[in-house]
Amino acid sequence: MITLYGIKNCDTVKKARKWLEKNGIEYSFHDFRDDGMDPVPLAKWLKEAGWENVLNRRSTSWRALTDEQKTKMDNALALTLASETPTLIKRPVTESAGQTRFGFKENEFSELLLKGNN
């Protein structure tokens, strides 16, 4: 089963959802704002990919952090901050067949989801 994490009004999440629907791929959607963010999958993502790949450093949520928070950022601080402010997480996050991807690139979705990996 595919789980797509994000925010329903995010343009990139909308593109990913539209792509999944166009390709007839079933998925469950977890909205960070409506459903919150469980620290267990977040901790797993941080351990596997590192905060540099999990957090969106171009987001308004990142820009709202203090310079000290940005300078001292590590996986532990990222876990705390992203649990409190899930809009810090790069969107969408896609989990399928034990693999996790951050962001949406059509070619990566095709590779991950259309080549028998789901």
Q: What is the 3-state secondary structure (H, E, C) of 43-82?
A: HHHHHHHCHHHHECCCCHHHHCCCHHHHHCCCHHHHHHHH
The enclosing domain of 20 has a CATH number of 3.40.30.10
Selection from 91, 100, 92 nearest residue 48 by Cα: 100
Q: Record the pTM.
A: 0.88
Q: Is the peptide bond before 92 cis (omega within 30 degrees of 0)?
A: yes
Per-residue pLDDT tens digits for 31-56: 998 998 899 999 999 999 999 999 99
C-alpha distances (whole Å) from 26 to each of 17, 20, 113 are 10, 7, 11
Query: What interhelical angle do 39-49 and 75-84 show, nearest 10?
Result: 150
pLDDT at 117 over 50: no
- Work out how many domains the chain is built from and give that number: 1
User: Could you count the other beta carbons within 10 Å of the beta carbon of residue 51?
Assistant: 19
Per-residue pLDDT tens digits for 68-116: 999 999 999 999 999 999 999 999 999 988 889 999 999 888 877 776 5
pLDDT of 110 reads 83
Q: Is 45 a catalytic residue?
A: no
Q: Which of 4, 10, 37, 79 is catalytic?
A: 10
Domain ranges, residue 28: 2-114
